[in-house]
Amino acid sequence: MKKKIRVVYAASRIQSVNNNPQNLKSLVKICQSLGLKTTSGLWNVNIKSEERNRLVFEGDKKLIDSADATIADVSSPSLGVGWELAYSQSKRLPILAVASIKSKNISAMILGNPYISFKRYKSLKDLKNIIKEWINK
């Protein structure tokens, strides 16, 4: 019997040109609306220090360790999200990667990985339906 998903590690690129973690905030909001507890590495990206880097690394690992599954928005490339997906896979967590239909050049490391479920979404409503279907499989 498959373990019921109750806690989700939500991942998305947060360090962008505008430091706008909107995709992650939307992903967290959708998961919570479906009754899921979410953990995510939404750190203060304006703090710059070696200590911050260590804290982010250790904190994200602990958050992934406490999750039942990982859901990542991979609409924008991110080395950090790639690492989080690989770490989640090493922990044998179910993984859903999603991307906007407008996104191009999704990594072959995601698309070619049979361990990762990948879906494209048109809208936030569509994304919610994709996540709902995936957690109820």
pLDDT 10s digits, 66-98: 999 999 999 988 898 999 999 999 999 999 999
Residue 9, phi-psi category: left (phi > 0), alpha (psi -120 to 50), beta (remainder) = beta
pLDDT surpassing 90 at residue 57: no
Q: Residue 55: which pLDDT band, with cuts at 50, 70 and 90?
A: confident
pLDDT band at 42 (very low <50, low <70, confident <90, very high): low
Write down the pLDDT at residue 54.
Answer: 80
Q: Kindly state the tokens that stand for 100.
A: 């906007």
What is the pLDDT at residue 77?
85
pLDDT at 84: 94
Residue 13 confidence (pLDDT) above 70:
yes
- C-alpha–C-alpha distance, residues 127 and 137, integer Å: 16
What is the CATH number that goes with domain 7-132?
A: 3.40.50.450
